[in-house]
């Protein structure tokens, strides 16, 4: 009798802890500062948590249809995945943020937040959220919601933030205050004209420092279709991601950078001795999802060699800044980089290998990788390679014979004379 | 001088050195100017189209796992990887399966329902076209599809 009661209580406690585990535990935020979808940084979203398993599934991004689906980070939590899939499916078929987020109410203990530049934003299911609406005359309205559905209507500027504390977080109990504080801060930033990517990064910083829900997660730029990918996500199952309030890397004025933990060993740039600036994770997140007006997006094809894509990006950017969008000029600059050894493992390019789209500020470079792990392109000699090979081998052979001749000179001569 | 060396010996040695040196330089030049390789066509890159929610890196990893990675090369109709040799059409079939089994990171969801893999035998570029469909995903532990 007593034993069965104990088992019953244990079961009840386990159920409760599981339920708490599914519904609590994260920060989700969607910010829309340009509901027309024109500004490349006009809509952004992100997730972070104290909890483990904040993989990319907690901030799913559609690059083509410009929407995101955020949820809690519970690994392979089955109903959460079902809710996320229903939301994605709804949005793929032309649903609004509201219609997709409502679907979360069909699952117990699940929260789904969705948003996009033109579809508005919404959170459905189990949540504690503030909806921030900034009207055109600068009035900021902040409304609390808990559970059901909360909507930022399409066409309005504003944000939605959900925040709860995860059990085990040393800053447990701060969520309510920080949620309001972050909502107010976001409202002011949106009113003052900051782009959505900056607002999201600021929210990450505030929540990570003041509420302790700090493990990435990550963020997405909904208009430009850029995601932080696995920059901050955990490397293995059942571990936490990168703490968003910690230093992420160090950067020198000239572009050299090194990531933590190695960065702790560097005080100055080893290349030119210039000073290093520490980049915190929330700043790195901002840099990763913000699109600069003068940034050229460079796509590299034909090689997966590490470093080639990054270096090409820089060369093309420099070339475009100097000469504008000219395929021949870009090809010339890339070729000079190849001959100076800056780019290794690829053959020289022709102007026809460069695909330039000046309107979209996009450049595609089609490389041809070199065979046999060679580092530089073949030389262009007037004599064919096989003849050179033959001549070279013959000369080497004659040279070696001469050496032998010298060594055994006296013996050889005497043996000839004897004859 | 401890060792007595005749002058013409020295001259012959110098000549031999020159011959060997220039011979070696010539063979290097012939290597550096040759364009063909006896190793077949290296897998030089992967182009992925059509993915929306599934990240590029995940698909790229799936392809690398079935042998389409840097360091592999195509010799005739065979894909030679660092681990084994597989017929190219078999490798392509494997790649199709691997791509459709690519998950959204951190989940077991596989939204890619169809994949088309093409390998260019002359350039070594692998082109993958994928189709994502979220309307018929099976989730382990739940009945039906989502």
- Model pLDDT, residue A11: 55
Domain count, chain A: 3
Tokens describing residue A291? 């699109």
Domain extent listing, chain B? 1-35, 41-132
In a domain, A11, yes or no: no
Report the C-alpha gap between A377 and A201 in whole angstroms. Answer: 44
Domain range spanning residue A358?
297-373
Cis bond before residue A178 (omega within 30° of 0): no
SS3 label, residue A353: helix
Q: A81: which chain B residues are within 8 Å (Cβ-Cβ)? A: 107-109, 139, 146
Buried b (16+ CB within 10 A) or exposed e, B115-138: bebebeeebbbbebebebebeebe
Residue A311 and residue A207 in one domain: no
Q: For position A285, what pLDDT does the model report?
A: 93
The predicted structure's pLDDT at residue A16 = 45
In a domain, A318, yes or no: yes
Question: Which residues does residue A44 pair with via DSSP β-bridges, in sequence order?
Answer: A31, A221
Asked if residue A267 is part of any domain, the answer here is no
Q: What value does the mean pLDDT of chain A take? A: 85
Is the same domain home to A323 and A401?
Answer: no
pLDDT, residue A24, reads: 42
ipTM greater than cut 0.95: no
Question: Which pair of tokens denotes residue A165?
Answer: 């504390």
Residue B136 has pLDDT above 80, yes or no: no
Count how many pairs of residues, chain A against chain B, have C-beta atoms within 8 Å.
172
**How many other β-carbons are positioned within 10 Å of the β-carbon of residue A100?**
29
Question: Domain B41-132, CATH 3.10.20 — does that match?
Answer: yes
Q: What is the pLDDT of residue A25?
A: 53
User: Which of B22, B44, B109 lies closest to A395 in CB terms?
Assistant: B22
Task: Determine the pLDDT at residue A18.
Answer: 45
* A115 found inside a domain: yes
How many Cα atoms within 13 Å fall on the side-chain side of residue A5?
2
Question: Is B124's CB within 8 Å of A369's CB?
Answer: yes
Please check whether residue A4 lies inside any domain of the structure. Answer: no
- Helices and strands per DSSP (H, E), number in chain B: 3, 7
On whether both A225 and A340 belong to a single domain, the answer is no
Examine residue A244 and state whether it is found in any structural domain, yes or no. no
Q: Are residues A139 and A226 in the same domain?
A: yes
**Residue B143 scores a pLDDT above 90:** no
The H-assigned helical ranges of A93-139 are 97-102
DSSP one-letter code for A393: H
CB A335 within 8 A of CB B3: no
A406 and A359 co-located in one domain: no
Structure token pair of residue A155: 């066409």
Tell me the C-alpha to C-alpha distance, in Å, between residue A164 and each of A26, A212, B14, B91: 6, 10, 83, 48
Residues A369, A390 share a domain: no
Residue B33 and residue A382: Cα distance in Å, rounded? 10
- Which residues of chain A are modeled with pLDDT < 70? 1-25, 73-77, 254-255, 419
Model confidence band, residue B82 (pLDDT cutoffs 50, 70, 90): confident
What per-residue confidence (pLDDT) applies to A1?
A: 46
Same domain, A86 and A145: yes
User: Are A323 and A392 within one domain?
Assistant: no
Domain shared by A176 and A318, yes or no: no
Q: What one-character DSSP code corresponds to residue A379?
A: P
pLDDT for position A23: 37
- Give residue A19's pLDDT: 42
Q: pTM higher than 0.80 for the full model?
A: no
Q: Which residue of B has its CA nearest to A61?
A: B53
* pLDDT value of position B59: 92
Q: CB distance B52–A399 less than 8 Å?
A: no
Q: What is the CATH number of the domain that holds A72?
A: 3.60.20
Whether residue A65 is found in the same domain as residue A185: yes
Residues A185 and A321 reside in one and the same domain: no
Is A50 within a domain? yes
From A223, A238, A253, the end of a domain falls on: A238
Residues A346 and A395 in one domain: no
The answer to whether residue A335 is domain-embedded is: yes
Would you call A290 exposed, middle or buried from its count of C-beta atoms within 10 A (0-12, 13-18, 19+)?
Answer: buried
And the tokens for A21? Answer: 């585990």
Output the CA–CA distances (angstroms, integers) from residue A261 to A209, A239, A248, B23, in the order listed.
Answer: 20, 17, 8, 50
């Amino acid at each position: 009798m007593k034993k069965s009661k104990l088992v019953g209580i244990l079961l009840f406690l386990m159920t409760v802890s599981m339920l708490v585990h599914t519904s609590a535990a994260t920060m989700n935020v969607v910010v829309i500062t340009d509901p027309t979808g024109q500004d490349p940084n006009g809509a952004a979203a992100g997730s972070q948590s104290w909890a483990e398993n904040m993989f990319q599934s907690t901030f799913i991004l559609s690059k083509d249809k410009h929407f995101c689906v955020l949820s809690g980070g519970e690994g392979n939590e089955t109903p959460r995945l079902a809710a996320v899939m229903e939301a994605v499916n709804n949005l793929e078929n032309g649903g609004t943020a509201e219609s997709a987020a409502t679907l979360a109410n069909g699952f117990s203990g699940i929260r789904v937040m969705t948003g996009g530049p033109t579809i508005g934003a919404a959170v459905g299911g189990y949540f504690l959220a503030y909806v921030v609406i900034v009207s055109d005359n600068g009035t900021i309205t902040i409304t609390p919601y808990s559970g059901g559905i909360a909507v930022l209507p399409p066409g309005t500027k504003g944000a939605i933030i959900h925040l709860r504390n995860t059990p085990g977080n040393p800053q447990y109990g701060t969520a309510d205050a920080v949620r309001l504080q972050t909502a107010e801060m976001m409202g002011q930033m949106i009113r003052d004209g900051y782009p959505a990517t900056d607002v999201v990064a600021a929210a990450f910083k505030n929540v990570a420092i003041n509420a302790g829900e700090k493990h990435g997660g990550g963020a997405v730029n909904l208009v430009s279709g850029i995601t932080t990918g696995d920059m901050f996500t955990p490397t293995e199952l059942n571990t936490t991601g990168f703490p968003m309030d910690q230093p992420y890397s160090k950067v020198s004025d000239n572009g050299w950078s090194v990531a933590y933990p190695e960065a702790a060993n560097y005080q100055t740039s080893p290349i030119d001795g210039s000073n290093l600036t520490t980049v915190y994770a929330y700043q790195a997140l901002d840099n990763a999802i913000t699109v600069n007006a003068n940034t050229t997006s460079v796509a590299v094809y034909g090689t997966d060699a590490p470093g080639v894509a990054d270096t090409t990006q820089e060369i093309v950017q420099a070339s475009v800044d100097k000469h504008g969008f000219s395929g021949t000029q870009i090809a010339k600059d890339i070729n000079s980089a190849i001959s100076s050894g800056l780019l290794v493992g690829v053959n020289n390019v022709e102007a026809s290998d460069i695909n330039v789209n000046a309107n979209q500020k996009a450049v595609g470079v089609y490389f041809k990788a070199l065979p046999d792990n060679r580092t530089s392109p073949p030389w262009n000699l007037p004599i064919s390679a096989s003849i050179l090979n033959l001549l070279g081998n013959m000369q080497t052979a004659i040279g070696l014979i001469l050496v032998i001749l010298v060594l055994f000179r006296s013996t050889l001569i005497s043996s000839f004379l004897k004859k | 001088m401890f060792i007595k060396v005749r002058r013409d010996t020295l001259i012959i040695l110098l000549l031999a050195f020159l011959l060997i040196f220039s011979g070696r330089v010539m063979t290097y030049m012939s290597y550096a100017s040759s364009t063909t390789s006896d190793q077949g066509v290296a897998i030089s890159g992967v182009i992925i189209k059509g993915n929306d929610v599934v990240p590029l890196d995940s698909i790229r990893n799936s392809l690398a796992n079935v042998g389409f990675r840097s360091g592999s090369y195509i010799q005739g109709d065979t894909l030679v990887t660092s681990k084994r040799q597989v017929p190219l059409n078999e490798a392509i079939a494997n790649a199709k399966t691997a791509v459709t089994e690519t998950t959204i990171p951190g989940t077991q969801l596989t939204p890619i329902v169809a994949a088309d893999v093409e390998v260019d035998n002359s350039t070594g570029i692998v082109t993958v076209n994928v189709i994502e469909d979220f309307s018929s995903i099976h989730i382990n532990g739940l009945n039906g599809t989502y």
